[in-house]
Amino acid sequence: MAGQETFPPPFKTLFARTELDARIAELGAEITRDYQDKGEDLVLIGVLKGSVIFMADLCRAINLPLSMDFMGIASYGDDTKSSGVVQITSDLSKSIEGKHVLIVEDIIDTGLTAHYLFDNLATRHPASVKLCSLLHKPDRTERAVQIDYLGFSVPNKFVVGYGLDIAQKYRNLDFIGYVEE
Ligand code: IMP
């Protein structure tokens, strides 16, 4: 049809769905072991929107009676660079006081958003806060953050798919790819 773009565009595959599945199964087993005695009090907090696909698979790889909540974050800055000044566009639906919080992120890029989240959540008196991120781009670090559970490190390329977007598109790709320059 005239004007219709090919879908998906010719992204280079970085991680196929099978690789993502295998790594997420390992992360889930590790989290299950570490939170075994805290099960009822474990809350996964997904950061919208990039983490939703990862969150959906990760939560099913964890064998504990956890609960889930989401936080919407808008970052001020241009399309490719976060300024670290963020706005909460949608807040948690329940108190996390006394809970063991595991933040679930799609990617840690500069680290500025994760820093903001750690500071913000700490004011709500959780029992603990840890971070699980599917991806990390170490070359772009501006503020180092401790990633307690990491899927993969990635090169300094703009990655897309499996929740990650370019201008809100391609979150529904079943693999993680990048645009070849
Ligand atoms: P940070 O504050 O620079 O660590 O940026 C975090 C957010 O920027 C992530 O949660 C993503 O939503 C977005 N982001 C950073 N790098 C990429 C990328 O390569 N592809 C898609 N989104 C990205």
Q: 28: which DSSP letter?
A: H
- 4 belongs to a structural domain: no
- 6 belongs to a structural domain: no
- 158 belongs to a structural domain: yes
Residue nearest to atom 9 of ligand 1 (CA): 107
- In this prediction, residue 69 carries a pLDDT of 98
Range of the domain at 128: 11-179
- 45 belongs to a structural domain: yes
Residue nearest to atom 11 of ligand 1 (CA): 107
Q: What is the mean pLDDT of the segment spanning 151-158?
A: 96
CATH of the domain at 35: 3.40.50.2020
- In this prediction, residue 10 carries a pLDDT of 86
Mutate to test the pocket of ligand 1, among 82, 105, 145 (most ligand atoms within 8 A of CB): 82
- Number of folded domains that form the chain: 1
CA–centroid distance, 93 to ligand 1, in Å, is 24
SS percent in the chain: helix, strand, coil, step 5: 25, 35, 40
Quick check: 7 pLDDT over 90? no
- In this prediction, residue 74 carries a pLDDT of 85
Quick check: 1 pLDDT over 70? no
- In this prediction, residue 45 carries a pLDDT of 98
pTM score, two decimals? 0.94
